[in-house]
Amino acid sequence: MRRYFKLLFIFVLISVFSVSCTQAKEPQVELKNRAMDFKLQDLNQNTFTLSNYKDKQPLILFFWRISCPLCRKELRTLKDMYPQLQKEGWELFAINVGESASAVDNFVKNYALNFKVLLDKDMAVAYAYGILGVPTYFLVDKNGYIVFKEHYFPRERYKELIYK
């Protein structure tokens, strides 16, 4: 009888733990949902609209902050990859989340970034996309559907994600 109660206790404990871990996970944007349209400005105050790229090319949306060491590492990698990504038909938007235009401008000049850097000053786009931490990548196919969301870039399989 004691053994039965011990097993029951362990089962209940495992069940409660697994439910609480499941609920604690970051909410996921569902894949194959249409990417929410947005308008953001770059450092030169040019406005970019996501829907302008629909039916034209796949997109990489990279959400980042200057204060994030992993973001800085990813930005260096993206800088090196960008010419190849362009040849393959991709466009890249590096979306800075909530930092001042002057700080981002200084950072971009120091790193000599060669792709579009957009400013999400009020963090509305990050909020709409459910960003809970940076870096965060979204891959959007040319039809405007999200095919990937994660905190890393899928270097080995990014092409196949778009052409599934």
Contact 42, 118 (CB under 8 A): yes
Block means of pLDDT (10 residues each) for the chain, 164 residues, are 48 39 43 89 96 93 97 96 96 97 98 97 96 96 94 88 70
Hunting for tokens 């970019």 — which residue is that? 48
Structural domains of the chain sorted by starting position, each given as residue range(s) with its CATH number in brackets: 28-162 (3.40.30.10)
User: How much is the pLDDT for 158?
Assistant: 84
User: How much is the pLDDT for 80?
Assistant: 96
User: How much is the pLDDT for 24?
Assistant: 39
User: Rounded to whole angstroms, how far apart are CA atoms 77 and 152?
Assistant: 11
Enumerate residues 6+ apart whose C-beta is below 8 A from 131. 63, 97
User: Rounded to whole angstroms, how far apart are CA atoms 155 and 25?
Assistant: 24
User: Rounded to whole angstroms, how far apart are CA atoms 149 and 129?
Assistant: 10
| pTM (2 d.p.) | 0.79
User: How much is the pLDDT for 9?
Assistant: 41
